[in-house]
Structure 1
Amino acid sequence: MEEIEDEIPVISKSEIKRQMTALQKLGEELIALPKSKLNKLDLPENLRDAIDDAKRITAHGALSRQKQYIGRLMRIIDAQPIAEQLEKWRNHHSDENVVFHQMEQWRTSLINDDNSVTLFIADFPDVDVQQLRTLIRNARKEASLLQPPKSSRALFKLIRGIIETAHPELAAVDEEEPEDE
């Protein structure tokens, strides 16, 4: 007997089940998305209708069946672009968190350390130095008198505006739009 060189790879039942479960989980993520993000995805009409139906279903059993149906629909389409877009959105969110924490660190160090002012001005020369120093002085005063952090919030807004202007790629873009149902 001759051996067949181009054998079809055998996929175990367990692997098939894992793939189906992963597609169903992807479908559940789609159900959780707001309409604004769903509109940005290129979804087949029947899948989009099934997702919209799932958003309206409240009964546990019916919702479970609808999720399984969405999983079946996901198997007949190329789900890779959808998964990639969802991953981009997740990473974009984590990038926004990193930038947000950097802004908070700048604010904290500006309020607590006079040397940070010099570093901040060196990194962002377009800053209005007088406004920056005034907000820092007022934030320190509010903190010492245990007053609400009005100037500290204003300082954060100033830092955010400066960083977003200097580095537009770091700007936190709010892609969420209000849902209208």
Structure 2
Amino acid sequence: MHEDEFDYGPSKSQLKREADAKQALGTTLIQLSKNDLESLDLPDTLLDAVLLAQEMRNDSSLKRQKQLIGKLMRQFDDEDYARLAKRLEYMRSGSEQQKMVEKWVENKVERLLNQDSSVNNEIVEQLEEIDFQYMRQLVRNSINEIKKGGKSRSRTLLFRYLRDKFEEKA
């Protein structure tokens, strides 16, 4: 038999890298909200361990809890681990996308309220179909509400309108 015929499996270094990656993924779970955690459909033992870690304030206790979470993560087979990592990445990219959209919309709303005429062209370029009459009405109402001193319900409606249009297009 030749040496090439033996399958030695993954190296000790490779196993260590995989264990560290699973530990790191487990640690990122601690930063998620309870709703996000529940949407990931985690095993009950892992979910309970993560929720407990979120409540901990003592560094040494939290460190031990993270090690337990890492141990529970290492019990995942490669397929389950990959599925969880993919769902987490999707959640992260979705929230990043959402932040970008809201930042864009916030910028346009502020410019509309400051009566910047060039903003209309940018909105048309990005959103194409838009009801300018409705949008102008919301801008007018919002400016009047702000002048009266108070919260502007119309500003909120304008923000939602543009955000919804942006999401419809995407």
* Fold equivalence (TM over 0.5): yes
TM-score (norm 2): 0.71
1:91 counterpart letter in structure 2: S
Give the match for residue 106 of structure 2: 104
Give the match for residue 74 of structure 1: 73
Summarize deviations over 1:75-103 as a string: whole Å, max 9, x none: 11132222211111111111011111221
Counterpart check, 1:158 vs 2:158? yes
Summarize deviations over 1:48-80 as a string: whole Å, max 9, x none: 232233234443222211211110110111322
Higher relative contact order (CA 8 A, sep 6+): 1
**Which residues of 2 match residues 34-53 of structure 1 at below 5 A?**
34-53=33-52
Task: Give the gaps of 5 or more residues in structure 2.
Answer: none
1:132 shift after superposition: 4.4
Q: Is the helix fraction higher in 1 or 2?
A: 2
1:32 shift after superposition: 2.5
| Alignment length (residue pairs) | 163
1:116 shift after superposition: 3.3
Identity of aligned residues (%): 31
Give the match for residue 4 of structure 2: 4
Cα gap change, 1:164 to 1:67, in 2 (>3 Å): same
Summarize deviations over 1:101-158 as a string: whole Å, max 9, x none: 221332344335324346646834324155045258659x96xxxx97966x844641
Give the match for residue 95 of structure 1: 97
Give the match for residue 114 of structure 1: 117
TM-score (norm 1): 0.68
**Structure 2 Cα separation of the partners of residues 124 and 136 of structure 1:** 22
Cα gap change, 1:113 to 1:76, in 2 (>3 Å): same
